Each structure stands twice: as C-alpha cells, then as structure tokens.
Amino acid sequence: MQPDPFANIHTLPVDAVWQQVLTVAPLVVIGTREADGTPNLAPKHMAMRFSWADHYGFVCTPRHGTYQNIARDGEFTVSYPRPNQALFAGLAAGQRDEDDVKLSLAALPTFSAQQVNGVFLEDAYLFLECRLERLVEELADNCLIIGRIVTAHVSADAMISAERSVNDMLADSPLLAYLDWGHFSSIEHSAPFPFLSDFKR
C-alpha cells in the first residue's frame, strides 16, 4: 500500500493560504509624486520584473496614493533597499494624518531620479525609473501596475563582476528579503542552482 502523500499536508481555505505560510519576496520602495508635487514612497513586496527585457510590475490597491499617483502621472521609481534599511522601508508604510500627509516620509533620505519625476531611497542598491505601460485591474481589490524601465542604476558594490564571486558580492552587499507576513531576512550566501546541462532560458 502506497503511503498517503497528503498525510502530513493541511488543506487550507483559499482565502487563508497567505496567512498560514511564509513565502519569500523582494521588498522594494515605490516612489511617486502627489498631485501637489511632494514625493510619496511606499513599500511593496508583490513586485518583480515581468519580462526578460524592460518590464517591471507590482501589485497595489487603487485605494492607495501610489496607485492614484501613477494612474495620473504615468511614472514611478523603484528602490531596492538593503537589509540595514528595513526601518526606512517600514517608515514608508506610515499612516497618513488628518491632512492626508505621511509625516514619517520626512525622515527618509532621498535623491531625485533623472528621467522621471520622482525620488529614490538613498543608499539602496538598485534603482529603476519606470513609465506606466498598463494597469491590470480587478485582481480582487488590487491592481497589477506594469511599467517599462527607462533608466536603471546600480550601486558599485552590488554589481555582478567577473572579478569576484556571487558570494563575495553578497558578503559585501547582502540582499533584503521579505517573509510574508511581517518578517524580513538578510541574504548573505547563495549556492549554484542545479540546472540540467541542456537548460535554456
């Protein structure tokens, strides 16, 4: 008799899956401008590239200023913070006051993008400037925002180089990983993935 493969597996209600397991995601800070021109920053973890070329996207709710700013202006920035900047990413998630202002943003060091009207989080390691390509609406109460990268910048210590191994790079510049829900980790070591010899992209 074959063992039951589901003997130690729990079947979950679909609407509870993401509250019952940890999953690994990037954590980025999306930059936009409010209607009055002031910068807005917000952390997002459902974010990734969407092609082998220059498409980048993330999930957001239309209730948030980030969505509304991008729908209006058609552009946004992406900053990839380092593990020691987790507090800054948390501050970017601060609540708005009665005047609809995120007071916590005043504590975040930023600098201006070059090709789009936005700002980056200072001392992050990867910076993308994007123009809106499409909105994929009605994903429950969310929306997928996909942009086209028009300019990309990387910190020198985080750039892949033939002169050093990936693990040397990670030792110098660890990566921030978000563990959904509500935790983060620092990636400081990696191992080669066991691709088959005939694997092709």
Q: How many domains does the chain have?
A: 1
Q: What is the CATH number of the domain that holds 83?
A: 2.30.110.10
Domain assignment of residue 193, yes or no: no
Domain assignment of residue 195, yes or no: no
pLDDT single digits (tens) 15-41: 889 889 999 999 999 999 999 999 999
Instruction: Identify whether the C-beta of residue 13 lies closer than 8 Å to the C-beta of residue 170.
Output: no
Domain assignment of residue 10, yes or no: no
Distances (CA, A) of 173 to 46, 74, 108, 188: 22, 32, 20, 8
pLDDT single digits (tens) 99-153: 777 777 888 999 999 999 999 999 999 999 999 999 999 899 999 999 999 999 9
Q: What number of other Cβ atoms are within 10 A of residue 152's Cβ?
A: 13
Residue 67 predicted with pLDDT over 90: yes
Domain that holds residue 93: 24-187
Name the 3-class secondary structure at 137: strand
Q: How far apart are CA 95 and CA 111, in angstroms?
A: 22
Task: Copy the structure tokens of residue 11.
Answer: 């079947």
Identify the pLDDT of residue 60: 97
Q: How far apart are CA 182 and CA 54, in angstroms?
A: 29
Q: What single string gives the DSSP state of each residue in 20-79?
A: HS-EEEE-EEEEEE-TTS-EEEEEESSEEE-SSSSEEEEEE-TTSHHHHHHHHH-EEEEE
Claim: this prediction has a pTM higher than 0.85: yes
Position with higher pLDDT, 94 vs 92 = 92
Domain assignment of residue 114, yes or no: yes
Closest CA to 47 of 178, 169, 141: 178
